[in-house]
């Protein structure tokens, strides 16, 4: 362990003593168990320094900027549990089949390697070594060793089986095949689902007790019993009937392997809330652009955990809605930390007035939530 890492971990231990972390973990565990969540502080402030999903860092850099952010967050009152999130690369699972990552500036895409239904059967067996998935494992192993297992390490954010297939073949071709050649569609989905399970299992085995099984969001914590977390961004493009026939069987397979799942989509997928409510495999739903209240009002059941964001100014109203409807949601609050030129203002530059105002706002949220 490097001296800089040790100093930061010691400070994190002071800012987040065991009692504080235990309360947050227990509250979140009870939430996912469908119980009345008690203890802890029932919201999490959004991240403000680490570019969780868009920036690709070398392992040492990622670790150090993550530790710095954890330290900055230490004076906030919320349910944050310290953890290190590796990042997101859409080519992670496609690379296991031999597809190259295409980089244009900060954007990353995936090479299409399926041109016809015949190519589905020519795909190589998925492998981890020598691929982006292997690079992620090396990064996670570095985090684990450098911190001596003293801090959690999150699952990598990689797309789920349908979206991986869409990147390998093209979404238009994939969706057309579901109608014109469903046998080829299902053969491909069996392969991409197997790759997802393989990589998730390797992360879980590598990290052991340090494994945090969520990338929804990079600053969120979830207990081990939630199962796996799966991104299904393309679900915004399909009907509820298509979802049930061509998505759900593969989500069920993942849930069967890990004991459940939470799913994510960035866009507006309110048309699926009723179907997700009826899907026994789904324990939680994360939306990048939907509020928790929107999801519940559109049919998501109270036994499902909505993992969502809201603005600081609207958070009290959200908590009042949750209380009056008997809902437990995992809420992230945006807007707590000021920025200058797009970057978070250093903690040392915060005035006493800022901290007084922050405490008043946090206290108001705690009162509204009934904590």
Residue corresponding to tokens 């909505």: 306
Domain range list for the chain: 3-369
Specify the DSSP element, H or E, that contains 262. strand 261-265
CA distance 9 to 5: 6
Q: pLDDT tens across 255-297, in order?
A: 999 999 999 998 899 999 988 888 889 999 998 889 999 999 9
The pLDDT > 90 percentage for the chain reads: 61
Which residues lie below 8 Å from residue 69, measured CB to CB, with a gap of 6+? 47, 48, 49, 50
Q: pLDDT tens across 9-30, in order?
A: 999 999 999 999 998 999 899 8
CATH for 3-369, options being 3.40.50.12780, 3.90.180.10, 3.20.20.210, 3.90.980.10: 3.20.20.210
Round the average pLDDT of the chain to a whole number and report it. 91
Angle at 87 between CA 82 and CA 92, to 5 degrees: 140
* Residue 40 banded pLDDT, cuts 50, 70, 90: low
């Amino acid at each position: 362990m490097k001296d800089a890492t040790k100093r930061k971990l010691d400070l994190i231990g002071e800012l987040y003593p065991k009692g504080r972390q235990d309360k947050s973990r227990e509250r979140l565990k009870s939430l996912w168990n469908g119980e009345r969540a008690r203890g802890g502080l029932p919201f999490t402030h959004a991240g403000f320094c680490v570019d969780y999903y868009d920036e690709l860092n070398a392992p040492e850099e990622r670790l150090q900027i993550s530790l710095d952010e954890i330290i900055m967050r230490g004076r906030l009152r919320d349910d944050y549990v310290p953890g290190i999130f590796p990042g997101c690369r859409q080519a992670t699972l496609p690379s296991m089949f031999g597809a190259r990552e295409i980089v244009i500036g900060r954007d990353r895409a995936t090479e299409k390697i399926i041109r016809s239904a015949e190519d589905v059967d020519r795909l190589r067996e998925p492998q981890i070594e020598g691929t982006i998935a292997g690079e992620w494992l090396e990064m996670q192993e570095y985090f684990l060793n450098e911190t001596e297992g003293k801090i959690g390490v999150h699952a990598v954010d990689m797309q789920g089986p349908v979206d991986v297939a869409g990147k390998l073949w093209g979404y238009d071709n994939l969706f057309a095949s579901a109608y014109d050649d469903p046998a080829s569609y299902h053969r491909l989905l069996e392969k991409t689902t197997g790759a997802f399970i393989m990589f998730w299992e390797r992360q879980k085995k590598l990290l052991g007790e340090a494994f945090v099984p969520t990338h929804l969001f990079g600053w969120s914590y979830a207990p081990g019993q939630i199962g796996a977390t799966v991104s299904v961004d393309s679900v915004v493009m399909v009907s509820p009937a298509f979802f049930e026939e061509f998505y759900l069987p593969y989500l069920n397979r993942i849930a069967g392997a890990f004991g459940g799942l939470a799913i994510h989509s960035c866009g507006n997928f309110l048309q699926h809330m009723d179907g997700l409510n009826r899907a026994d495999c789904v324990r939680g739903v994360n939306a990048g652009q939907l509020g928790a209240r929107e999801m519940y009002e559109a049919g998501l059941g109270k036994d499902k955990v909505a993992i969502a964001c809201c603005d600081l100014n609207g958070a009290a109203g959200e908590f009042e809605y949750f209380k009056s409807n008997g809902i437990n949601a995992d809420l992230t609050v945006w807007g707590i930390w000021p920025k200058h030129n797009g970057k978070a203002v250093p903690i040392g530059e915060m005035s006493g007035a800022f901290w007084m105002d922050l405490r008043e706002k946090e206290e108001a949220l705690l009162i509204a939530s009934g904590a």
